[in-house]
Structure formats: structure tokens, C-alpha cells
A and B are shown apart, each in its own frame.
Chain A
Amino acid sequence: MKAINIIESTFVPMPMENIDTDQIIPARFLKATTRLGFGQNLFRDWRYETDGSPKENFILNNPAYTGEILVAGKNFGCGSSREHAAWSILDYGFYVVVSSFFADIFKNNALNNGVIPVQVSEEFLQKIFELNNGSTLTINLEAQTITIDATSDNETFDINHYKKTCLINGYDDIDYLLSIKGEIAEFEKQYYN
């Protein structure tokens, strides 16, 4: 996993609530056996007509909106546990998702893939939605802050201390679990006794 700490970027606003993982990546695109290439089907049914032509009024089809940060309404990532949702977001090029509330499994999946879920207050979220296009946000993982660069308005966000260390150093849970295999085997001995 790539180590990350500070991200400064423009953002793409999607002020809808309850964006579920079936919208992020519809089930019919889950037939791949690798983690790559899901970005092209991110928000597929909102982004494209059934004949594959882009839907003009969908924000990802508007070249004026770019950036490494996706900002969405509350309860982002609810529904299915498919990690493909996190992969498609990352593969598209987003490293941060900002929302006022995240579904649990999505949050874990994002963290496990180097996408930072930044949970802000509803009020701060609305402030971001009111910004002009082209405004930038800065996410500082070490300091756990998100800042609206133009106004220096900022908020701190929560992140599990252990996960934060993982992200900043670019290592993952499996590395850790493998390092304690002896302890796990020891536990098993007692457990299955």
C-alpha cells in the first residue's frame, strides 16, 4: 500500500445521502478477479446511459470537476460489503472521501486500501458544498485535520490510531498479523484444548 499523509486537492461534490455500494459499483461489474480497472465503472448507472453514452448532467462527466477528494452526503457506502466499492473509488483516482457519516464496512474497506474516510460535522460538510468549484481542501492525516484552504476553516476528524499509523507508513493489517503468528498458534492450543 502507498504511504499517505497530506493531500491537497480540488474536490468533486456529490450532495446525495445514503449513497450505497450498489450505486458506487453495480453488482454486474463484480465479475472481475483482480482489483484493477473498477474505476471505469464507478457510479456506472448514474454516469452512463444503458447504451454506454455519458449522462451529461452527472458530475463526473463534467470536466470542470476534478480532484483527488470526493465529498458526499451522509451515510456514504451503506449496503453491500463489496470491497470493489473502495477499489473503484481508488482506481478512479480519489484518495479521500469526505462525508458526515460513513457505513461501517465501507469505512474499514476504504482504510484497508489506502482511501481515507474523513468524517466531518454536517455543518462543515455544508460549508464545503457551498464552495465554488476549483476551491481546494487539505487533509493532513498526521494532524487529523481537514481545511478549506481559501478560508482556513478547519475541523479535526477521528481516525483509529492504529489505522493512521498503517496509512502513514504504508503497511497493512496482514503484515501485522503475520508478525504475531506465533501468538495466534499459542492461542489456538489453549482454545482447542
Chain B
Amino acid sequence: MPKTLFDKIWYKHVIKTIAGGPAVLYIDKHFIHEVTSPQAFNGIEKRGLQVWRPQNTVATADHNVPTINQHLPIKDELSRIQVQQLKDNCARHDIALYGLGHPFQGIVHIIGPELGITQPGMTIVCGDSHTSTHGAFGCIAFGIGTSEVEMVFASQCLMQTKPKLMRINIEGELNKGVVSKDIILHIIAQISASGATGYAVEYAGSAIRRLSMEARMTICNMSIEMGARAGMIAPDDITFEYIKGRQFAPSGERWNLKLAEWKELQTDDGAVFDHEININASEIQPMITYGTNPGLGIAINGMIPVTDTIPDEGERKNIVKALQYMGLEPGKQLLGMPVQHVFIGSCTNARIEDLRLVASVIKGKKKNPSVQVMIVPGSQQVARQVQEEGLDKIFEEAGFAIRQAGCSACLGMNEDKIPAGEYCISTSNRNFEGRQGAGARTLLASPLTAAVAAITGVVTDVRDFHY
């Protein structure tokens, strides 16, 4: 019987299934960070246990770390304690830690792939909902809560119910100015912030096949923003080429063995999904969000919906409330609206390719004086590449503030916050109320759209911008 990519990986990892209940799923890689792990370490220690398979776990500090002066002690006491506890916990349990100051440190979903830890066919979990990012390599990768982190510590397994399967096919050529962030914002706007709840989503089609690994990761990253448990893309030559030669990638004879295995990881012709969606790539425009969930997005030159005519009462109230928070009016365009901040960073769009794209657009230009621009590389490795390639000069000349690696203003846990009431075009993945700081107003967009807004100071259609 033809099988889906998901099923091929899933069943290889199921140890047993409880009648009428979940499956016991074996986990290949477990990423941890300072915010969602301390209570899990406490939990197993209270039970008198050690982490059972420490070699399957990799740790980094990213969520609450400062992005300036990382060599100095962390000023915020609670953050400092969390980061210190991670160190102590990893030392006690023999877990590899790429903490502050380590050349591999960075946002957990950026370092896994760039170090070659993330490999096709794996089951990968992390106490962070954007773990779906790793699915771009043909993995089953999903975010878990702290109790589940504790389960993996204790047994290298999780109790999981198999999700339903959805395939989203995107065929055809992308328009000029449209990048992978626009594809995923388009999909979420179409199916809503809860449209894929209960599903694992496979992205397929010719438009996906042509994307680089970085671009594929951006798409899988935001799967959770439509409620999906996981997002995945079948591995191909682009994937293998990306992994080859990386720090923890297999080499020599083992590479050949693995490669043969990985080539089997595709959905067979005729395999059945619970739901399929077809999208024509040429319909996708550069996107921007206007509301307080990632599903409230429009084409950059589109109109904010007129609320009076929304038939569903719940949805109408929701959008009215969102527009109130955002200080925006129904039926209006966002184009031309001034923004005070541009944030280029996060596990969605802070890989080297994203930063190269930004540099190519702004080269030789200066940011608009009324905008503050923060650019936060996703990892130490990305930061080093930025320097080696001289992109830092381009950013500095443009007046962008380059920070050190971390989650930063994506969730405003450290001091990188957007002030209340001000607008920020952000390359991150969430525009929830207060996400980037209490009262902050987030407009999600691609790095391309963000870069252009940094120069013009207003929401701008990249297609009208000459670079």
C-alpha cells in the first residue's frame, strides 16, 4: 500500500500502542533551552532519576539571553538564574550545552539544522512550538510542553496520538517579490490560525521543490500558526547538499548508508491524506498581517477587511478587537502607513540567507531616520558569516543595529522590546497582543518587506521599490 512520508517515519518509531490510547513514540533528538526545561529537570530529580539517554539531547540558551554584551554577566536576575540552572542541569546530567559564549550558541531551531544535527527521518522534539521548523528536512518534529520534556528525559519516549494528515500542494512559479514567508502567511490567511489543528502537514509541489533549505524551514516553522502539530517537506538533493559536511552530519561510509535511507523518505504516489489543499503559486502576493493572530493577513496592497459584513459573530468580534488593539481601521490599506520599528530576526527568518537578502536590498542605502532597525542573527555561526561576508558593513552603513544571537524581540523576554502603541514590521512568527512587549503592535512580513520598510519608513510594496 502506498505510504505517506509521515507514516514511514512514524511507524519506524512506534514502540507500542496502547489500546484506545496513544502510541509510545521513540524520540531521536531532543533540543532543550533555558525556559521550558528547569521544571522538567526538577521533575525527574524528584523521582530520583538521571536523564536516561543524554546523548540524544542538545541544549542551548536562547529565549531570554541578552543580545548585547553577551560576554558580561546577565543583568536580569531571573534570566541569569535560568541560564545558570541550565548549565548546572546539563553538567549534572551529561548533556551537551551550547550556551552563551559557545561558538554554536543560537536559537534552537537555527542551530539544529546548521550543525547537521537535524537529519531526515528523525523524530525531533523541543519544548518550543516552532520545533516544526526541523520538519523541512523530512522529520517528524513538534513542540512539546514541560511535562513531555520530562517524559523524554525519563524514557526517551513520548505518549502521542497519531495526528491526521494534510498535504498542501503549491504548484507553479512565484511572483517577483514573493518569498517563502509570503507563501506561509498566504496559507495561514487562507485556512485561519486554527485551520490545521489536529493535523501534521506535508508541503509539496513544484514551488516547494525549488526552494532552498532556509526557505523551506521558514514555511515549516510557521505550521504551528495554523494549529498544525507538525509541518514537513520530503528531503531531496537540495536537502542532502545542505547537510553534507556539517559538524554533526554523517561522513564517509556512513554518509552513503544514510543517504540511501533518506532517499526512501517520500510520500508514495497514491498515498491518501485526510485533507488536501491545492494552491497556485502565482496567486501569492507579498503578505503582511494587520491583526493579532498570524491568520489575519492580507496582500501588501490589499485592504483590511470591512468588519460589518463578516457573517460569523465570533470572527467579527475577534477582528474588531484585534483592530482596536492595532489602532487600525477596517476597509483601509496598510500601504504607506508609517512604522517606528523593524525587527529582522527569530527562528523564522534569521538565517544567513535571510540576512543576505536584506543586505542585497539595502546595500548603499540608509534607513529612514524615523525608524529603529534591529537585526538579530539567529546564531553565532550566522553572526560570524555576516562578518565574513561583509554584510555587517552594509547594515552599519544603513544605520541598522546588529545584535548578538538570541530570540530577542520575537517574544520580548529580554530587554529587546517594542514600546506600547508603536508599530513594528517583524520577520518573526507571532503578532499576538503584547508579544513583542506590552502594547506593541506587530505587523508580520517577509525579510524583503521588512528591509524595504526600514528604508522608506512606511509599509511598502517591494514590487514598487527599486533595488
Contact = CB atoms under 8 A, between A and B. Distances in A.
Interface of A: 16-18, 20, 22-23, 26-28, 30-35, 45, 50, 73-75, 78-84, 86, 101, 103-105, 108-109, 112-113, 160-163, 172-174, 176-178, 180-181, 183-184, 187-188, 191
Contacts of B129: 79-81, 105
A101 B227 CA distance: 11
Contacts of B43: 174
Nearest to B407: A27
A180 B158 CA distance: 12
B81 interface: yes
A183 B143 contact: no
A33 B21 contact: no
B36 to A, nearest CB: 7
A174 B155 contact: yes
A75 B293 CA distance: 12
Interface residues of B, number: 68
A45 to B, nearest CB: 5
Interface in B421-454: 430, 432-435, 438
A181 B52 CA distance: 10
A86 B39 CA distance: 13
19 contacts: A17-B315, A20-B432, A23-B434, A28-B413, A30-B64, A31-B413, A33-B82, A45-B434, A75-B197, A78-B193, A81-B144, A108-B145, A109-B147, A160-B161, A162-B159, A174-B147, A178-B47, A180-B15, A188-B156
Contact of B430 (A22, A180, A183): A22
A75 B292 CA distance: 14
Given A82-B36, A83-B147, A161-B20, A104 B229 contact: yes
Nearest to B228: A104
B16 A183 contact: yes
Interface in B154-182: 154-159, 161, 163
A83 B146 contact: yes
Contacts of A75: 193-194, 197, 227
Given A103-B227, A184-B156, A31 B78 contact: yes
Given A27-B413, A112-B145, A173-B159, A20 B128 contact: no
The 7 closest A-B pairs by CB, nearest first: A162-B21, A31-B78, A83-B145, A112-B147, A109-B145, A81-B143, A33-B38
